[in-house]
Amino acid sequence: MLGGIGIASTAQFIGMCFMPESPRWLGKEGRSEDQLRVMQKIYRYDHLDTANKDLTAEVKSLRAQTRLSEMQRIKQLCTIYGKCLLIGCTIMAF
């Protein structure tokens, strides 16, 4: 049983080494050139402009959300993703 977990975690570690950075995080940090470079790897060329506009709007929303207090963020997280959190925590418990 422990060996199976070790194999899965090793595969995940190797996969994470090749995973690009998050365009949302890059946009939030103000690294727009890196954001566009990563998005060019992820999206097809004909969808790149639309995805970039959507991501720019989302980054503005993220910046507004980070101005909220800690309790407001936790409340918002539970109201939006409450079902997902419950399912995920239940699966992890098993």
Domain range for 50 is: 17-93
- Amino acid at residue number 75: K
Let me know if residue 87 belongs to a domain: yes
Question: Can you give the pTM of this predicted structure?
Answer: 0.49
Let me know if residue 25 belongs to a domain: yes
pLDDT 10s digit of each residue in the chain, 94 long?
667 788 888 888 898 888 878 888 888 788 888 888 888 888 888 888 888 888 888 888 877 777 767 778 788 878 888 888 889 889 988 8
Give the rounded distance of the alpha carbon of 45 from its chain centre. 22
Those residues with Cβ within 8 angstroms of residue 23's Cβ, 6 or more apart along the chain or in another chain: 35, 38, 39, 42, 55
Task: Count structural domains, the chain.
Answer: 1
Let me know if residue 8 belongs to a domain: no
Let me know if residue 53 belongs to a domain: yes
Let me know if residue 68 belongs to a domain: yes
Let me know if residue 10 belongs to a domain: no
Let me know if residue 89 belongs to a domain: yes
Let me know if residue 1 belongs to a domain: no
